[in-house]
Amino acid sequence: MRRNIMLTTACMLAVLITSAAPGNPTSQSTPEQTVERDWSRQEKLKQRAPGCREAVSDVLQRGEALLKDLAELGADEVVSQAAEKLAACRRRHDELAAREETDSDVAAEWDELYLRTRWIVRRAALNNPLLDFDELLFVKRFTPSVAHQCSHHVGSSQVPGGDLCVLSGLKPDGKVRSVLGDLLPSGAIGRPDLSFDARQIVFPYAAPRPNPTAYPHGLPGQVGGACLDYQLYEINVGSEGDSGTGLRKLTTGPHENTSKVYFDINNPLRYSWEKPPKKNKPQTKKEFKELYGSTPVVMQDGSLGTLEEYAEVDRRNKCSTLTR
């Protein structure tokens, strides 16, 4: 019998991965404020303000694409409720765009429309009939010492204090339990993968370095950081209220072992991970592309491929599976 548990990552619609700087708690924020703060950060990464025409237009386009997908799943009630609200947002968008052409100050109104539209799209997404689970697997971690997406693949650039957790009850007063408990020293956790029967988790773990140093950013050949390189582990999820069981180490150094994926639904214990680079750390753009482009993923036909291959299929099909 399949357990009702779902894996989430930062790219998914339910943003529950904790990524913050040490000493910067957000526990006093409401769930809504936390979500809206993340939306604002997403727009800043695109070098634009949430309250701008382009940001609202993008949200509307994603929302309309989402409703099309939900309609194909037969979620007629969800679609009918959201479609009317989204259509009103589209009319408001066109109105503000026309007023903006006459130099009207509508920045505050764009802000309001942006948040209203995003909440409509978010609620529709979370009403997807496929989201029939009551537990969520997520990673607790700090922002790496190097502000670049590739740093998430490098264990030695991580900050200790991470954990692998399960949220029971998808609501603000849900209960969180640690899967790892005290089975491993408090190091860093990379992106996990959940088996098809939701019983095992394979994940990269970077142990705390015995003698931590500053991360040697921009210094090829030097070794250091607050953590050691990532190595892969597997653990049983465990029952409600308990830590996981059967922890086992799958890889050893000296290279980073970061990415892995379960890919055979008929054999839940079968997985694959990327081959370690020939060098301890990639130094050139070509080496970074070779390493991170080879991240294993399950292709749309169920076969095992790489992230680069998946992206190429995605481009050819002109779909937005990776970004929607």
Closest to 246 in 3D by CA, of 298, 197, 179, 167: 179
Q: What is the pLDDT of residues 266-293, one digit of tens each?
A: 665 555 555 444 444 555 556 655 655 6
Q: What is the pLDDT of residues 80-130, one digit of tens each?
A: 999 999 999 999 999 999 999 887 789 999 999 999 999 999 999 989 988
pLDDT higher than 90, residue 143: no
pLDDT, mean over the chain: 79
pLDDT higher than 50, residue 51: yes
**Residue 1 confidence (pLDDT):** 33
Domain containing 210 equals: 135-142+153-317
Q: What are phi and psi of 119, to 5 degrees?
A: -65, -35
CA distance 273 to 260: 4
pLDDT higher than 50, residue 46: yes
User: Judging by DSSP bridges, how do beta strands 227-236 and 245-249 pair with one another?
Assistant: antiparallel
Answer with the one of 126, 161, 180 that is the final residue of a domain.
Answer: 126
CA distance 99 to 95: 6
Distances (CA, A) of 246 to 46, 108, 201, 277: 42, 54, 11, 29
The structure's pTM equals 0.68
How many domains is the chain partitioned into structurally?
A: 2
Higher pLDDT, 83 or 156: 83
173 and 120 in one domain? Answer: no
Q: Averaging pLDDT over each range in 176-185, 234-243, 303-312, which range is the top one?
A: 176-185
Domain-located, residue 148 = no
84 and 13 in one domain? Answer: yes
110 and 55 in one domain? Answer: yes
306 and 160 in one domain? Answer: yes
Whether the link from the prior residue into 50 is cis, omega within 30° of 0, is: no
CA distance 324 to 12: 9
Q: DSSP E strands: which ranges in the chain?
A: 5-7, 18-20, 135-142, 163-168, 175-178, 188-189, 193-194, 200-208, 227-236, 245-249, 260-262, 271-273, 296-298, 304-306
Domain-located, residue 76 = yes
Domain-located, residue 313 = yes
Domain-located, residue 312 = yes
